[in-house]
């Protein structure tokens, strides 16, 4: 890529896409193309074909997808498989048809078997059964990897797949039902602290601007308490207790979205598909894990956020909600061997996410 290259960022308003856009701009790339979901529905084959024909991007970052936390994946199973297959089929196929020089496809570490040995090497793909809660999403992501590999082999294209670990950062989704654990806990604990301090203005502002349920700016305390209670923020005998889904025992590895964006741009600048191949006779598992190689339990994460926010109350564990995979730590040796390492550790990251959340409200 050179600074004048025409680069299309699919999903530029999302968590990762917005960070990729920021990273590219900061490095002097200026010929950038992007469209909102309303302007271009990537599940629509005709719209995507006409967009590529008109714009002719040279490079593509495919960061648009149907994304959500464990419960959203489990509930909206059809949407997660349909939307993701359609988006990636359309974007990857039109990239081939329109001579895109290089494409980066973003998968996820949920492509690996539920009980994969830890840490997980790229070669563990398709060696055992997947985690049930996100099987449809994972199947779509595996199809994306195999689509990139197959086009590279048959058509000599240059499509690279990366498998990010759990991500968080600016422009994250804070919806308490559909989001991932980190933004959900930041928001719930912030609401818990506001309740602890009788800061009803802060609670009203939160519910109004980032609605978990549309509550108007003047909602009564009783109505607000009902909404909070429904989302696992409970006041019992003047003590606040916050719901943690599952047992709190699962381990997760978290990467700051701006580090993810930096790794994505680094790979686009420094790596071609042919560099990712180990066996030229049977090309497979050419994807690259992106993570930190460090994980933390959900329980410890909750206590870390509690400390950062200054919440004095407690937690309760709701085992009616799924735990998901018990551990999914990436082996990042392939990525490290290229010379890329992450910058933001989890402690600073939690603080940065909370500050972003407070400013955004
Ligand atoms: N967040 C995470 O923890 C992880 C994410 N990933 C992967 O990283 C990539 C980016 O994820 P993330 O940034 O978190 O996701 P976000 O939900 O934050 O962003 C996704 C973006 O895609 C857009 N989009 C979704 N559907 C369509 C569509 N049909 N047409 C056009 N645009 C669409 C969304 O627009 P709109 O909101 O308007 O629909 C949004 O801007 C995805 O491939 C995801 O699978 C991988 C591992 C972990
Ligand atoms: C990125 C990844 O994201 C999804 O997988 P996940 O890692 O399980 O994602 P999660 O962030 O939603 O949960 C992590 C853990 O945390 C627990 N947990 C506690 N309390 C809350 C809570 O309040 N909200 C959420 N969401 N989880 C909670 C939760 O029960 C689980 O044990 C995949 O479906 C798939 O899409 C994928 O690739």
From first to last of the 361 residues of the chain, give the pLDDT tens digit.
Answer: 999 999 999 999 999 999 999 999 999 999 999 999 999 999 999 999 999 999 999 999 999 999 999 999 999 999 999 999 999 999 999 999 999 999 999 999 999 999 999 999 999 999 999 999 999 999 999 999 999 999 999 999 999 999 999 999 999 999 999 999 999 999 999 999 999 999 998 898 888 777 777 777 778 889 899 999 999 999 988 899 999 999 999 999 999 999 999 999 999 999 998 887 877 778 889 999 999 999 999 999 999 999 999 999 999 999 999 999 999 999 999 999 999 999 999 999 999 999 999 998 6
Query: Cα dist. 297→132, 163, 304, 326 in Å?
Result: 20, 21, 10, 9
Nearest to 120 by CA among 342, 329, 293: 329
Probe target for ligand 2 pocket from 164, 245, 256, 315, with the most ligand atoms within 8 Å of CB? 245
What are the residue ranges spanned by the domains of the chain? 7-171+253-293+328-344
Q: Would you state the pLDDT for residue 281?
A: 75
**pTM, to two decimals:** 0.97
The token pair at 242 is 């916050």
Q: How many residues in total does the chain contain?
A: 361
Ligand-binding annotation for 165, yes or no, is yes
The CA distance from 225 to 214, in Å, is: 14
Return the ligand 1 atom nearest residue 166 CA: 3
- Where helices occur in 197-332 by DSSP H, the ranges are 200-209, 221-230, 257-270, 298-309
Return the ligand 2 atom nearest residue 244 CA: 20
Q: What is the DSSP letter of 330?
A: B
Query: Cα dist. 194→21, 225, 316, 357 in Å?
Result: 34, 12, 18, 14
Say if CB 54 and CB 8 are below 8 A apart: no
The CA distance from 82 to 43, in Å, is: 9
For ligand 1, is residue 181 a contact (CB within 6 Å)? no
Q: Would you state the pLDDT for residue 284?
A: 87
SS3 content of the chain, % helix, strand, coil (to 5): 45, 15, 40
Angle, helices 200-209 vs 221-230, to 10°: value is: 60
> Tokens 């949407």 belong to which residue?
79
Q: Would you state the pLDDT for residue 278?
A: 77
Ligand-binding annotation for 11, yes or no, is yes
Which residue's CA is the nearest one to ligand 2's atom 25? Answer: 181
Asked: is 7-171+253-293+328-344 a CATH 3.40.50.720 domain? The reply is yes
Which residue's CA is the nearest one to ligand 1's atom 6? Answer: 108
């Amino acid at each position: 890529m050179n600074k004048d290259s025409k680069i299309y960022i699919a999903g530029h308003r999302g968590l990762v896409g917005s960070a990729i856009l920021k990273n590219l701009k900061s490095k002097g790339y200026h010929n950038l193309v992007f469209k909102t979901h309303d302007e271009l529905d990537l599940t629509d084959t005709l719209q995507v074909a006409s967009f590529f024909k008109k714009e002719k991007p040279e490079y593509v970052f495919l960061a648009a997808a149907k994304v959500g936390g464990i419960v959203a994946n489990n509930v909206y199973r059809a949407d997660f498989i349909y939307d993701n297959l359609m988006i990636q089929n359309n974007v990857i196929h039109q990239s081939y048809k329109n001579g895109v020089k290089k494409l980066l496809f973003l998968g996820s570490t949920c492509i690996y078997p539920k009980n994969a040995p830890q840490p997980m090497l790229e070669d563990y793909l398709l060696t055992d059964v997947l985690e049930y809660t996100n099987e449809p999403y994972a199947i779509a992501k595996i199809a994306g990897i195999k689509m990139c590999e197959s086009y590279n082999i048959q058509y000599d294209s240059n499509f690279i797949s990366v498998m990010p670990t759990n991500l968080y950062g600016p422009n994250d989704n804070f919806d308490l039902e559909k989001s991932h654990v980190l933004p959900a806990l930041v928001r719930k604990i912030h609401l818990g602290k506001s309740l602890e301090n009788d800061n009803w203005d802060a609670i009203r502002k939160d519910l109004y601007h980032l609605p978990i349920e549309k509550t108007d700016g003047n909602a009564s305390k009783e109505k607000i308490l009902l909404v909070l209670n429904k989302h696992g923020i409970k006041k019992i005998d003047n003590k606040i207790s916050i719901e943690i889904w599952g047992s709190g025992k699962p381990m997760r590895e978290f990467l700051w979205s701006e580090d993810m964006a930096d790794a994505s741009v680094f790979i686009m600048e420094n790596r071609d598909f042919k560099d990712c191949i180990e066996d030229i006779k049977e090309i497979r598992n050419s994807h690259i894990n992106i993570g930190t190689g460090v994980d933390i339990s959900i329980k410890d994460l909750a206590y870390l956020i509690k400390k950062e926010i200054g919440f004095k109350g407690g937690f309760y564990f709701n085992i009616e909600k799924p735990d998901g995979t018990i551990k999914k730590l990436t082996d990042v040796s392939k990525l490290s061997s290229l010379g890329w390492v992450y910058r933001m550790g989890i402690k600073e990251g939690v603080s940065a996410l909370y500050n972003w959340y407070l400013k955004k409200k």
